[in-house]
Structure 1
Amino acid sequence: MIVSAFTLLATALLFGGMTLYSFGFAAFVFTALPADTAGPLIRKAFPHFYLFVMGVSAIAACGAAFIDPLSCALLIATVLSTVYARQILMPAINDATDAGQTKRFKTRHLVSVLITLSHIAAAAVVLIRVAGAEG
C-alpha cells in the first residue's frame, strides 16, 4: 500500500508538473512577454524542466518496479528520452534558433513537443494502472 501510494503521488507530480509547464507556464510566458524576452527565459527554464522530469520519473519508476512492470518500463523510457531531449535535442533546437534556421528549428521543436506529449500520455497510463492496482 505504501509503495503504491508513493508511486501514485510521484507519478501525479510528474503528470501535473509536465502538464502545467507545457500548457501553462510556457504558453503564459509567450503571451505575457515580448518574444525577445520570452525566448531566452524559456531557454533557461527548459534544462530545469528536463531535470524535474528525469528525477521524478526515476523516483516513480523505483516504486513502479514493485507494482507493475509496464508502468516501470514507461517511466524508465521517460527518463531515457528526457536525457536525449535535454542533452541532444535541446542544444540542436538552440543552435537552429541562433543560426536563424527556421525550418530546422520547427522540425526539432516539433520532435520535442511530441516527446513531451508522449511523456504526459505515459504518465497518465501509469496513473491509471497504479490506481487500478489498488482496486
Structure 2
Amino acid sequence: MEIAALLITALLFGGMVLYAFGFAAFVFSALPSETAGPLIRKAFPHFYLFVLACATLAAVLLALNDLLGAGIMAAIVLSTIYARQILMPAINAATDAGEKRRFKWLHGLSVAITLAHIGGAAVVLVRLAGA
C-alpha cells in the first residue's frame, strides 16, 4: 500500500508541476492569446479531475499508515473541489465580463491553491520516502 501511495503521490506531484509550469506556459507562449485562453479553459476541468482522482486514491492508500499524509491529500481533494466547482466558473465569468481586476485576483487565488497542492504533495512524497 505504501509503494502504491508513493507512486500515486509522485504522479500527482509530477502532473501538477508539468501542467502548471510546462503545459500552461507552453500554450500561452506558442499560441495567440485568443486561442490559448479557450484551450486552457477547456483543459482545466480535466486537470482538476486528474488532481481529484490522484489525491483521493492517495488519501485512501495513506489512511491506514500515515494520517497526516492522508489529511494533506484530503485537503487537496476538498480544495480542488472548491477550485473546480466554484473558483474556475468565477474566473471564467470574470473573463467573459471583461472584469480584469477580478480575474487577476481570482486567478492569483487559483495559482496559490495550485502551489499549495504542489507543496502538499511534496511534503507527502518526502514523508513516504522516509527523508
Q: Do the structures match in fold with TM over 0.5?
A: yes
Instruction: Report the aligned-residue RMSD.
Output: 0.8
Q: Deviations over 1:6-34 (max 9, x none)?
A: 00000000000000000000000000000
Q: What residue is the counterpart of 2:39 in the other structure?
A: 41
Q: What residue is the counterpart of 2:100 in the other structure?
A: 102
Q: What residue is the counterpart of 1:11 in the other structure?
A: 9
Q: Give me the whole-angstrom Cα distance separating, in 2, the residues matched to 1:69 and 1:131.
A: 16
Q: Deviations over 1:70-118 (max 9, x none)?
A: 1000000000000000000000000000000000000000000000000
Q: What residue is the counterpart of 2:128 in the other structure?
A: 130
| 1:52 pairs with one of 44, 50, 68 | 50
| 1:90 pairs with one of 78, 88, 91 | 88
Q: Give me the whole-angstrom Cα distance separating, in 2, the residues matched to 1:56 and 1:93.
A: 24
Q: Give me the whole-angstrom Cα distance separating, in 2, the residues matched to 1:64 and 1:117.
A: 22
8 Å CA contact 1:96–1:102 kept in 2: the answer is: yes
| TM-score after normalising by structure 1 | 0.96
Q: What residue is the counterpart of 1:76 in the other structure?
A: 74
Q: Give me the whole-angstrom Cα distance separating, in 2, the residues matched to 1:41 and 1:67.
A: 40
1:131 CA drift (Å): 1.4
Partner AA of 2:9 in structure 1: T
Q: Give me the whole-angstrom Cα distance separating, in 1, the residues matched to 2:127 and 2:90.
A: 35
Q: What residue is the counterpart of 1:62 in the other structure?
A: 60
Structure 2 unaligned blocks of 5 or more = none
Q: Give me the whole-angstrom Cα distance separating, in 2, the residues matched to 1:37 and 1:128.
A: 38
Secondary structure of the residue that 2:88 maps to in structure 1?
Answer: helix
Q: What residue is the counterpart of 2:114 in the other structure?
A: 116
Partner AA of 1:114 in structure 2: A
8 Å CA contact 1:57–1:78 kept in 2: the answer is: yes
1:51 CA drift (Å): 0.4
Count the aligned residue pairs: 131
Q: Deviations over 1:33-65 (max 9, x none)?
A: 000000000000000000000010000111111
Secondary structure of the residue that 2:51 maps to in structure 1?
Answer: helix
